[in-house]
Amino acid sequence: MMNYYAVLDVGGSAIKYALMDETGGFIEKSSLPTPKASLALFIDTIGGIVDKFKETYPLTGLAVSMPGAVNVESGIIEGITALPYIHGPNMKELLQSRTGLPVELENDANCAGLAEGWIGAAKDVNDFLCLVIGTGVGGAVVLNKEIRHGKNGFAGEFGYMIMEGYLGSNPVETYSSLAAVGGLIKQVAKRKDLEPEALTGKIIFEMAEKGDVDVQDEIDKFMRRLAVGIYNLQFILDPEKILIGGAISHREGFIEKINETLQQMKYESEGLTVKVERCQFGNDSNLIGALHHFLQRQKDFPLISEDVEQIL
C-alpha cells in the first residue's frame, strides 16, 4: 500500500506545497503567498493545505523545508530569516498539533542536497557537497548519505567564508557577498553607478551579452571567486562530487565556465581534478529533499501504533 505525504517548501515570499508519494513522485502541487502577518496565520495556512489534501488522500505525515538554522531534533528554528515569527517557537510541535500528523523539518539548502543524494545527480555517491547559488550562497554537506549539521547547525553555510578584506585594510567580503547573485549585483551596481534594485542576474548577463566590457569583467571576477571557494572546499572534504544549484546554474555555459576556471587553477603535481556538476532538480528540489528527510527520520525513529501503545 502506497503512503502519501503533504510536503511544503517555505520561502520568504511563497509556500510551495505538494501531495507526494513515498517514491518522491508528485500527485499534485501548487503555491501560495507566505503569510507575513503572524505565526498564527502561518500555522493555520499550512493547516488548511493539509486539510484539503486529507479530503482525498490518507496522509502519513507532513514534511517541511524551512529557511534558517533548523534544529531537526527540537523543532526550533534559529538564526535570522525574512520570516521573524518562525524563530523561537517550536514549529514542529505547533504543526503537529494543528495537523494531527507526524512532522519533520529541515533547512532548505539541506533539503536540496538530500534530494540530489536520493534520486538526483548524487544518487550514485555517498559523500558530496551541494552549493545553492542565489542571493547568498547556501549549501549542504552530505557524508555517507547523511546531512552533517555541525555542533551549531552551520555546516554547509559556505556563504560565511571570508574571501577578501581579512587583513583589515578593506571591509570584509564573504563568499555570499562576492560569489552569489546578490554579490554580483552589488559589484555591477557599484561599477556602473546604478541602484542594486535596478538589476537582476538576468539583466546583468544580458548587459554582458550586448558587449558591456565592465559587466563582462565583473562576471569574470564573480566566476573566479566562485571557483576559488569550490576549489578550497574540495581540498577540505575531498567529496566524490560537488553540485551547483540555484537558477543561475541553469544558464547555458555556466557550469562549463566554472569547470574551465577550476581547470586553470589546477597544479600539475596534485593529481586531482576539481569538477562540478549541475543539480538535477530545480524548483522541486526542496520538496523532494524534505520528503526524503521525513522518511529518513521516521525510519530511524519509528512511530508506535495505537495498538502497540495499548499493549505497553
Q: Which residues of 224-253 are buried (b: 16+ CB within 10 A; e: fewer)?
A: bbbbbbbeebbeeeebebbbbbbebbeeee
pLDDT over threshold 80, residue 239 = yes
Mean pLDDT of the chain: 90
The predicted-structure confidence for 23-77, as pLDDT tens digits, reads as follows 999 999 999 999 999 999 999 999 999 999 999 999 999 999 999 889 999 999 9
φ and ψ at 265, to 5 degrees? -85, -10
Task: Name the residue with cell 547568498.
Answer: 136
- Are the beta carbons of 175 and 230 closer than 8 angstroms? no
List every span in the chain annotated with CATH 3.30.420.40: 4-111+284-311, 123-278
Kindly report each contact of residues 220-226 with a partner whose C-beta sits within 8 Å and lies 24 or more positions away, as own/partner: 221/187, 222/178, 222/179, 222/183, 222/184, 222/187, 223/257, 223/258, 223/261, 224/261, 225/163, 225/175, 225/178, 225/179, 225/183, 226/133, 226/179, 226/258
What pLDDT was estimated at residue 268? 56
Q: Fold for domain 123-278?
A: Nucleotidyltransferase; domain 5 (3.30.420)
Residue 273's pLDDT band (boundaries 50, 70, 90)?
Answer: confident
Of how many residues is the chain composed? Answer: 312
| 4-111+284-311 CATH, one of 2.40.110.10, 1.20.1180.10, 3.30.420.40, 3.50.50.60 | 3.30.420.40
The predicted-structure confidence for 179-195, as pLDDT tens digits, reads as follows 999 999 999 999 999 99
Share of the chain above pLDDT 70, in %: 94
Three-state DSSP at 254 gives: helix
- Are the beta carbons of 103 and 276 closer than 8 angstroms? no
- Terminal C-alpha separation, the chain: 27
